[in-house]
């Protein structure tokens, strides 16, 4: 026989020797869960056992204050007013172009010398408020980075005043427009 004729026979023998004739491995034992331990003694008054308190939501997780922004421009003044569903002004952002300042006006507070804390995604600042015309006011320069933080704060920013309920206001285009009109 020639070597070329032996080659298929040899290949068949090699393949046959690679085939396993041993039995399949035994299956692994199944691990079962242990039963839960029996409950221990319970308190006589189940309401006496306190559940852990829910964590206080941060300003970004607080529900948005119901209402809407409205923009007005009259007499060279640009103003955004946040109105409650009932029509009450909860916040005003006003550009005073002659004075080159932006004023945030809020309802009066019960605190003697209230601080106004503005919280955004990137910045938080507390500012002393002054009382004027039955409102609190905080004044900012038009180029203050806090204004940009308010305009671009992932959809909302918070306004917290001592002695008043916090506001979670949307950072809609009306806010940006007042800022841009004053620059």
Instruction: Determine contact, residues 72/79, Cβ cutoff 8 Å.
Output: yes
Q: Which helix (H) or strand (E) segment is 178 a member of?
A: helix 173-182
User: pTM (2 decimals)?
Assistant: 0.66
In this prediction, residue 61 carries a pLDDT of: 80
pLDDT number for residue 48: 36
If you ran DSSP here, which 8-state letter would residue 24 be given? P
CATH annotation of 68-182: 2.60.40.1880
Residue 12, classed as helix, strand or coil, is: helix
Tell me what pLDDT residue 116 has. Answer: 93
The confidence score (pLDDT) of residue 23 equals: 59
Determine the pLDDT at residue 19: 53
What pLDDT does 45 receive?
39
- The whole-number mean pLDDT for each consecutive block of 10 residues of the chain, a chain of 183 residues, reads 54 51 55 50 39 51 91 88 96 92 91 87 92 87 94 88 90 92 89
**What's the confidence (pLDDT) of residue 80?**
95
Please give the pLDDT value at position 134. 84
Write down the pLDDT at residue 50. 41
pLDDT tens by residue, 34-70: 555 555 444 443 333 343 333 345 777 888 899 999 9
Q: How confident is the model at residue 8, as a pLDDT? A: 57
Buried b / exposed e over 138-148, threshold 16 CB at 10 Å, is: bebebebebbe
- How many other CB atoms are found less than 10 A from the CB of residue 81? 19
* Contacting residues for 103 by C-beta, under 8 A, at least 6 apart: 92, 93, 94, 96, 137, 138, 139, 140
DSSP 25-73: PPPPPPP-PPPPPPP-PPPSSGGGSPPPPPPPPPTTTSPPPS-EEEEEE
**pLDDT at position 152:** 87
Residue 133, H or E segment:
none
Report yes or no: 92 and 80 within 8 Å, Cβ to Cβ.
yes
d(CA 64, CA 66): 6
- Whether the CA torsion 171, 174, 180, 181 is positive or negative: it is negative
Domain boundaries along the sequence of the chain = 68-182
Residue 25 has a pLDDT of 58
């Amino acid at each position: 026989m020639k070597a070329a004729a032996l080659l298929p026979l040899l290949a068949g023998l090699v393949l046959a020797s690679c085939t396993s004739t041993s039995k399949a491995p035994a299956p692994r034992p199944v691990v079962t869960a242990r039963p839960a331990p029996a409950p221990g003694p319970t308190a006589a008054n189940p309401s006496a056992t306190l559940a852990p308190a829910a964590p206080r939501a941060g300003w970004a997780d607080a529900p948005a204050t119901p209402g809407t922004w409205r923009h007005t421009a009259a007499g060279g003044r640009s103003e955004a007013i946040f109105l409650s569903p009932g029509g009450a002004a909860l916040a005003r952002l006003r550009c005073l172009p002659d004075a080159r300042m932006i004023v945030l006006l809020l309802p009066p507070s019960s605190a003697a010398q209230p601080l106004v804390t503005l919280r955004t995604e990137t910045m938080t600042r507390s500012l002393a408020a002054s009382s004027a015309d039955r409102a609190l006011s905080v004044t900012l320069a038009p180029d203050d980075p806090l204004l940009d933080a308010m305009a671009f704060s992932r959809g909302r920013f918070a306004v917290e005043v001592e002695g008043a309920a916090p506001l979670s206001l949307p950072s809609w285009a009306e806010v940006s427009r007042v800022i841009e009109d004053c620059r």
